[in-house]
Amino acid sequence: MNDETLRKMGLAVIEAEARAVQSLGERLDEDFNRACHAMLECAGRIIVIGMGKSGHIGGKIASTLASTGSPAFFIHPGEAAHGDFGMITPDDVIIAVSNSGETDEIITLLPLIKRLGVPLIALCGKRHSSLGNAATCYIDISVDEEACPLNLAPTSSTTVTLVMGDALAIALLETRGFNERDFARSHPAGRLGRRLLLHVNDVMHTGDKMPVVTKSVTLSEALLEMTRKGLGMTAIIDEQQKLCGVYTDGDLRRTLDTGADVHKTAIADCMSKEFTCIQGGRLAEEALLTMQEKKINGLLVVDADNTLIGVLNMHDLLRAGVV
């Protein structure tokens, strides 16, 4: 057994499964459409059931449906026969996954499903099986052969089942108009969720943690405020509490180059009067893009009246996972 033989064996599996997936296109028939309509009209939840490898695939299908706008969860059919069937209501839709269509634990549930009167979508490899005959919608996931050389281990069959589940989920996603923000709400801990859900006012420094001085103070007093707050900058406000300037570490270097006396120089004489602001209701992602575009490390945050309400810098966005 050499490396080339191993590669060829792996390639044979990939090619066999690719052929099986390719054959699925012609099976998107009226039953596929009816299954989509049943799930779109579902007032409850989409319940996915399956045993063994089909159960693992079913769990992934349920997860994909749930994260793309179609509330769903997986129930183990063995547990369903011992009480968990009570989770299913007349408002639900059931997807049963079984290549043979004769899985004992699923067959046991068929009379209960019929009595409940819910739509039954079968992802099944045998049309005239017990499951296929009981299904409201039969979706063909049969394969000519498994990628396993013994034609026994579920390989091609589980792959086509997964792909068909994705086809259903994405068809529903498109029909519902599910967008990036909807996806982010289902994935709040992911990068996309943070990027699309986190706002500037969620990460900015406010109150006593916000570096701010009046324009009447000296440069040394402003530097003390910058040091205490540790953001590498301070906002400057006028007598009416309106924002009138900003002073940063970069400004300090430029001021020292002029030989100015930090104890005698007024901050009003050396502050930057041109500064970049962002409103607190904007997305943190927008703050990041603004800082990158302007090549700055901090932002002043204002409300609709242009009153200072917060300060943030690049480190805040890093800690929040936006960067």
Domain limits, the chain: 3-178, 200-319
Do 299 and 291 touch, CB atoms closer than 8 A? yes
pLDDT band for position 185 (50/70/90)? low
pLDDT band for position 189 (50/70/90)? low
Fold match, 3-178 / 200-319: no
Has residue 96 got a pLDDT over 80? yes
User: For residue 155, which amino acid is it?
Assistant: T
pLDDT in tens, 60-77: 999 999 988 899 999 999
**For residues 314 and 188, which has the higher predicted lDDT (pLDDT)?**
314
pLDDT at 41: 95
CATH architecture of 3-178: 3-Layer(aba) Sandwich (3.40)
3-22 helix and 156-176 helix, angle to the nearest 10 degrees: 50
SS (H, E, C) the chain: CCHHHHHHHHHHHHHHHHHHHHHHHHHCCHHHHHHHHHHHCCCCCEEEEECHHHHHHHHHHHHHHHHCCCCEEEECHHHHCCCHHHHCCCCCEEEEEECCCCCHHHHCCHHHHHHHCCCEEEEECCCCCHHHHHCCEEEECCCCCCCCCCCCCCCHHHHHHHHHHHHHHHHHHHHHCCCHHHHHHHCCCCHHHHHHHCEHHHHCECHHHCCEEECCCEHHHHHHHHHHHCCCEEEEECCCCCEEEEEEHHHHHHHHHCCCCCCCCEHHHHCECCCCEEECCCEHHHHHHHHHHHCCCEEEEECCCCCEEEEEEHHHHHHCCCC
Do 267 and 236 touch, CB atoms closer than 8 A? yes
Has residue 187 got a pLDDT over 60? no
Look-up: residue for tokens 């420094």?
205
Has residue 188 got a pLDDT over 60? no
249-257 helix and 219-229 helix, angle to the nearest 10 degrees: 150
Q: Average pLDDT for residues 173-177, to the nearest whole number?
A: 90
Instruction: Give the list of residues 6+ apart from residue 67 with CB closer than 8 angstroms, or none.
Output: 183, 186, 187
Has residue 243 got a pLDDT over 60? yes
| Euclidean distance between CA atoms 52 and 306, whole angstroms | 61
Has residue 212 got a pLDDT over 60? yes
pLDDT band for position 257 (50/70/90)? confident
Q: Which fold has domain 200-319?
A: CBS-domain (3.10.580)
| Euclidean distance between CA atoms 263 and 218, whole angstroms | 6
The burial class, CB within 10 Å (0-12 / 13-18 / 19+), for 171 is middle
pLDDT in tens, 214-230: 999 999 999 999 999 99
Has residue 90 got a pLDDT over 80? yes
Look-up: residue for tokens 């940063």?
248
| Euclidean distance between CA atoms 55 and 193, whole angstroms | 29
**308-313 vs 298-302, strand pairing mode:** antiparallel
Count the Cβ atoms, other than its own, within 10 Å of residue 25. 8
Has residue 282 got a pLDDT over 90? no
Do 156 and 145 touch, CB atoms closer than 8 A? yes
